[in-house]
Structure 1
Amino acid sequence: MFTELTDLIDDVVRQFAPVRDMMDWAENEIRAARRRHPAHADTLHHSFALLTPTSDRMRTEFVYRGHARELLDRVAQGDDTRPGTAAEIVLAFSHASQTAPLNTTATGLMFRMWQKAFPDTPMDIDDDQEHREKLYGSSIDDAEAEARTKLAISGRVLGTIKCCGWHHGEPVACSYAPTQLPLGPNTA
């Protein structure tokens, strides 16, 4: 019986590892966004729920981080968080390219979105991208707007924030906390 319980626990830990990794990546991206946008630090702290992965391919760290970074920047800028992210567009077009070749506009959009979503992960961009942007830039703009709309997630909104005045077990002066703080993080 002890061996079965140990095996069960090991299996649960093994299955939870990717989720734990993504949670760590999300927290790291939130901390980075708070440094980039200190005036919106409280709102960004409470934005974790927006960072739900929308594809199994977001198990890849740089893909998930690009997705999360864009959403957090939108929160800080007061922009709509529902439209598809650049990472989501790359994933959608990558999937589509396995079914049929992408046309010039779609190829241009995929390269553009890659550069936006993953600036630290260079893709072997052919020399034609600059020319594509010059020749088809307005078509790529239109395709980007359409892709962001089609990939929108209607429930991906921040909603009402409630804070008990504690972040990660530490008392904080959060703008969403009541003026009189409770005694501890579990007393809200």
Structure 2
Amino acid sequence: MPLDHVGNSTDLPTFLNTVHDEVAEDLAGPLTELVLIDDEIDAAAAAKPSLADVFFHSFDLLRPRSALRPAVAAESVLRSHVRELLARLGAGADTGPPTSAEMFVAVHHTGRAVPLHGPTAGLYFRLLVAAFPAWPGIADLTDRQRHYEVLYGGRIDDLVEHLRRRLADPDRRMPAVVTCRGRHRGEAAVCRYADTRALPVRAPYTAPPQA
């Protein structure tokens, strides 16, 4: 099972610095990114075997977009992003809107340059709770978030909708046509996308008769 790489510290600044440092150092190179996405696909397939073929062919959809690629290089952010998209696929939901991880990264970068107060701080905490539910300090953070929700809940909702419109990607969806030859990772697989048309059968070689 995949590990939740969200750090062991329950201290919020330590956790956020860990995420930021991972982003800055680009810890997950292209190869690591592929491994992590495959890891999450396998976990989703184990949870919903009937959709294993859909998850397998969603790989390109799950890869982070170029604008956010440096940010989702952090394993914690990448796993959160991929898991949410896989969950949407499993539920038949739209994959175009941004994930909580993508929205969190956008607000996180803003907060590094401009202090967040009031509803923007509440937005930050709401997205943090949504993107990293497995973080050990989430219970304490949820209490802090509840305070902002009471004071600014409606305005936070508006900010979330603004982010969703701004970061939405209508082209991020399963392709209309998926090509599959009935093999996944080199092994025969039962797949709804497999080309079931009969392939031409080549006659076995027969040596010519001796003169």
What residue number does 1:24 align with? 35
Taking the aligned partners of 1:31 and 1:42, their CA distance within structure 2 comes to 10
Q: What are the equivalent positions in structure 2 for 1:1-188 lying under 5 Å apart?
A: 18-53=29-64, 54-122=68-136, 125=141, 127-159=143-175, 160-179=177-196
Task: Select the structure with the greater relative contact order (CA < 8 A; seq sep ≥ 6).
Answer: 2
Partner Cα separation in structure 1 for residue 120 and residue 142 of structure 2: 14
Q: Which amino acid aligns with 1:48?
A: F
Letter in 2 for 1:157: R
Aligned partner letter, 2:76: F
Q: Which has the higher helix share?
A: 1
Encode CA deviations 1:93-129: one digit per residue, 9 max, x unaligned. 0111122222322211221211221112245738432
Q: Tell me if the contact between 1:165 and 1:173 (Cα under 8 Å) persists in the aligned partners.
A: yes
Cα distance in 2 for partners of 1:155, 1:103 equals: 34
Identity among equivalent pairs (%) = 39
Shift of 1:154: 3.1
RMSD: 2.3
C-alpha distance in structure 1 between counterparts of 2:106 and 2:30, whole Å = 22
Structure 2 length as normaliser, TM-score?
Answer: 0.72
Instruction: Provide structure 1 residue ranges, at least 5 long, that are not aligned to the other structure.
Output: 1-14, 184-188
- Asked if 2 retains the 8 angstrom alpha-carbon contact of 1:164 and 1:182, the reply is no
Amino acid at match of 2:54: T
Distance 1:26 1:51, change over 3 A: same
Letter in 2 for 1:147: L
When residues 113 and 171 of structure 1 are mapped into structure 2, their CA distance, relative to the original with a 3 A threshold, is same
Q: Which stretches in structure 2 are left out of the alignment for 5+ residues? A: 1-25, 201-211
Paired residues of 2:44 and 2:86 also in contact (CA < 8 A): yes
What residue identity is the alignment partner of 1:131?
A: H
Larger Rg: 2
